Amino acid sequence: MTQKISRVLVSVYYKDGLAPLINQLASLKAEFVSTGGTADFIKSLGHDVTPVETLTGYPSIFGGRVKTLHPAVLGGILQRRNESQDASEAAQYKIGAIDMVIVDLYPFEETAAKGGSQEEIIEKIDIGGISLIRAAAKNFNDVFVVSSSAQYEKALSVLQTKKGTELSDRLYFAALAFDVSSHYDTAIFSYLKKDQNITRFKVSAGAHRTLRYGENPHQKGAFFGNLDALFQQLNGRELSYNNLADAEAAARLIQEFEETAFVIVKHTNACGAATGASVKEAYQKALAADTVSAFGGVLIANQKIDMAAAEEIHSLFFEILAAPAYEEAALEKLKSKKNRAILLQKEKLPAGLQYRSLFNGILQQETDWKTDAETDLKIVTAQSPTPAEIKALLFASKICKHAKSNAIVLAKDGQLLASGVGQTSRVDALRQAIEKAKKFGFSLEGAVMASDAFFPFPDCVEIANEQGIKAVIQPGGSVKDQESIDFCNAHNMRMAFTGFRHFLH
């Protein structure tokens, strides 16, 4: 049954998009009760409005902190129309019913994001607005609540179509209201708990985009978050679940490099990675590591894509290319194939926490932003790595950190030669990397080896030595570290410990 709206409380921070909704309510002969600037706005549209102060008999006090927290307002919202006791008390205290509430909240998140002072941010914690929203949502049986400017258009459609609301409408908007309030409270909690010893899992991602499907076509998928804050899509079809997973892996790895670098990712592992004097050179070196796996991969650079690089990249079939900038002509060439996604990376990935669903709960951890540096290295062999080897070892360790465990990376001269990833045995990971390097024509003589965790036995350094690998980087920490060290010393190998393990499951 359609319920008529006779009386509306309106109190909003942002007025954009409000006018059509107000005008529609006026055409339905609704009475307006409002506050401050919102009341002035309604008057400017040519409609009568009753100030909240007239309704409550109290002025706005404490710098505007208290103006709607009054029984005449909250009682008007919360009274149940089908309860005789409520009706009796409403008559006794002369509290008129309020049928609709239009309220948005002070911009707490926006103020915090802009780096406002603590005083400014705290003053943007809305008390009256959140109380009105929750009260109206609780009493959805009788009250229609619009809790965000994003809901104006849909609310207007309901009123235009039905000249009032049905219970299903009020229930739907009540659910949206509690989504708004829970998101708001989560943002406040996240701000206040900084530097406090409080561990709670509270995340509210807000709006989402529906993906074409999940990991596989029979699975539904969605992304919750603000991808637009990090990337602008310049070309191509909507990104998929797997696209996003691979793009994040690529972005995390490329972020390790300050020098010009190029990375190619397939199934979240780098199948190509290299540094170079130009983007073109870095791309060519990265592609050479695995010309087969690069097909349909995700590509990322940390420098502007110029025409020379674009001409090379254009011949490859790929899903995504991301970079911080593009030359205009290069972009037009790359966009000539409509399905390939071209992304402009606007910001680096932020530090913070990572989450993963597991069993019936959530795993949480800090993001591993530790990059192994020369100052971390502890040379444990009699011979020290040469400066060129140290550079190669640190390059390899960056890639190894972002490869699925167990992982081994073989590299030389700023180029990934091959990696063994996701193996249950570290020896298997090494053998996989060796076989792959040889498949693509690389000699391992003078190459370096990186491991994401320690060697429990000397078998990996023994195998590496057979292939001509003479420098190794690993975390160390095995009870049998000395066996690997002794072998290296006996075979003129150099080995450095970092002290940091980089498992990636």
Catalytic residues: 138, 267
What does DSSP assign to residue 16? T
β-partners of residue 298 are: 265, 320
- Is there a contact between 34 and 15 (Cβ–Cβ < 8 Å)? no
For β-strands 471-474 and 448-451, DSSP reports them as parallel
Interhelix angle 279-288/307-314, rounded to 10 degrees, is: 20
CB burial of residue 208 (10 Å; 0-12, 13-18, 19+): exposed
Token look-up 């229609």 returns 144
Which amino acid is it at 443? S
Q: Which residue bears the tokens 């709006």?
A: 207
Taken in order 149, 154, 139, 72, the sign of the CA dihedral is positive
Distance between CA atoms of residues 53 and 48, nearest Å = 15
* Number of neighbours of residue 479 by Cβ within 10 angstroms: 8
Q: Which two tokens stand for residue 309?
A: 């690089």
**Nearest alpha-carbon partner for 452 in 413, 396, 411:** 396
Mode of pairing for the β-strands spanning 31-34 and 7-11: parallel
**Lookup: tokens for 208:** 């989402």
Beta strands 31-34 and 50-51 are parallel
Distances (CA, A) of 113 to 118, 200, 325: 12, 21, 25
* C-beta of residue 147 within 8 angstroms of C-beta of residue 137: yes
Contacts for 150-156: CB closer than 8 Å, 24+ residues apart: 151/176, 152/17, 152/18, 152/20, 152/21, 153/17, 155/21, 155/102, 156/20, 156/21, 156/24
Long-range contacts of 180-187 (CB under 8 A, 24+ apart): 180/105, 180/133, 180/147, 180/148, 181/130, 181/133, 181/134, 181/137, 181/147, 184/105, 184/108, 184/126, 184/130, 185/130, 187/108, 187/109, 187/112
C-beta of residue 318 within 8 angstroms of C-beta of residue 298? yes
Residue in 89, 183, 80 with CA at minimum distance from that of residue 140? 80
The DSSP H or E segment spanning 7 is strand 7-11
Look at the chain and count its residues: 505
Amino acid in position 236: G
Hey, which residues does 366 pair with through a beta bridge?
A: 353
